Amino acid sequence: MTAKFELFKDIAGQFRFHLKAANGEIIAASQGYTSKAAAQNGIASIQATAATAPTEDLT
Protein backbone atom coordinates (compact mmCIF):
# COMPACT_ATOMS: atom_id res chain seq x y z
CA MET A 1 0.00 0.00 0.00
CA THR A 2 1.16 3.55 -0.64
CA ALA A 3 0.36 6.68 1.34
CA LYS A 4 -3.09 8.08 0.66
CA PHE A 5 -5.57 10.78 1.61
CA GLU A 6 -8.93 9.67 3.00
CA LEU A 7 -11.75 12.21 2.66
CA PHE A 8 -14.75 11.73 4.92
CA LYS A 9 -17.65 13.43 6.68
CA ASP A 10 -17.52 13.54 10.49
CA ILE A 11 -20.46 13.10 12.87
CA ALA A 12 -21.00 16.89 12.93
CA GLY A 13 -21.42 16.92 9.13
CA GLN A 14 -18.08 18.56 8.37
CA PHE A 15 -15.66 17.29 5.75
CA ARG A 16 -12.22 16.20 6.93
CA PHE A 17 -9.29 14.25 5.59
CA HIS A 18 -6.52 12.08 6.96
CA LEU A 19 -3.18 11.44 5.34
CA LYS A 20 -2.29 7.82 5.95
CA ALA A 21 1.20 6.34 5.65
CA ALA A 22 1.86 3.17 3.70
CA ASN A 23 1.46 1.16 6.92
CA GLY A 24 -2.07 2.57 7.43
CA GLU A 25 -1.12 4.90 10.29
CA ILE A 26 -2.64 8.40 10.28
CA ILE A 27 0.21 10.90 9.94
CA ALA A 28 -1.85 14.06 9.41
CA ALA A 29 -5.42 15.09 10.19
CA SER A 30 -7.23 18.10 8.80
CA GLN A 31 -9.46 20.71 10.33
CA GLY A 32 -13.19 20.52 9.61
CA TYR A 33 -14.42 22.05 6.35
CA THR A 34 -17.99 23.08 5.57
CA SER A 35 -17.82 21.81 1.99
CA LYS A 36 -16.29 18.86 0.21
CA ALA A 37 -14.68 21.21 -2.33
CA ALA A 38 -12.91 23.12 0.46
CA ALA A 39 -11.53 19.87 1.89
CA GLN A 40 -10.38 18.82 -1.57
CA ASN A 41 -8.63 22.19 -1.91
CA GLY A 42 -6.87 21.50 1.41
CA ILE A 43 -5.62 18.18 0.06
CA ALA A 44 -4.45 19.84 -3.17
CA SER A 45 -2.61 22.49 -1.18
CA ILE A 46 -0.70 19.86 0.79
CA GLN A 47 0.10 17.91 -2.37
CA ALA A 48 1.46 21.04 -4.04
CA THR A 49 3.58 22.36 -1.17
CA ALA A 50 4.62 19.56 1.18
CA ALA A 51 7.55 18.28 -0.86
CA THR A 52 9.34 21.64 -0.77
CA ALA A 53 8.24 22.89 2.66
CA PRO A 54 11.14 23.58 5.01
CA THR A 55 11.36 22.09 8.49
CA GLU A 56 11.48 24.59 11.34
CA ASP A 57 13.01 23.08 14.47
CA LEU A 58 11.35 24.67 17.52
CA THR A 59 12.96 22.45 20.16
What CATH number should be reported for the domain holding residue 21? 3.30.160.160
Residue 1 has pLDDT above 90, yes or no: no
Query: Is 8 part of any domain?
Result: yes
- pTM of the full structure: 0.87
Q: Look at residue 11 in the predicted model and tell me its pLDDT.
A: 97
Query: Is 18 part of any domain?
Result: yes
Task: Count structural domains, the chain.
Answer: 1
Query: Is 33 part of any domain?
Result: yes
Q: Three-class SS of residue 10?
A: coil
Query: Is 27 part of any domain?
Result: yes
Please provide the DSSP assignment of 28-45 as one string.
EE---BSSHHHHHHHHHH
Q: Look at residue 2 in the predicted model and tell me its pLDDT.
A: 92
- Which residues form the domain of 20? 4-49
Query: Is the Cβ–Cβ distance between 12 and 32 less than 8 Å?
Result: yes
Per cent of the chain over pLDDT 90 is 97
* pLDDT, tens digit, 9 for 90 and up, residues 23-47: 999 999 999 999 999 999 999 999 9
Query: Is 32 part of any domain?
Result: yes
Query: Is the Cβ–Cβ distance between 36 and 15 less than 8 Å?
Result: yes
Query: Is 59 part of any domain?
Result: no
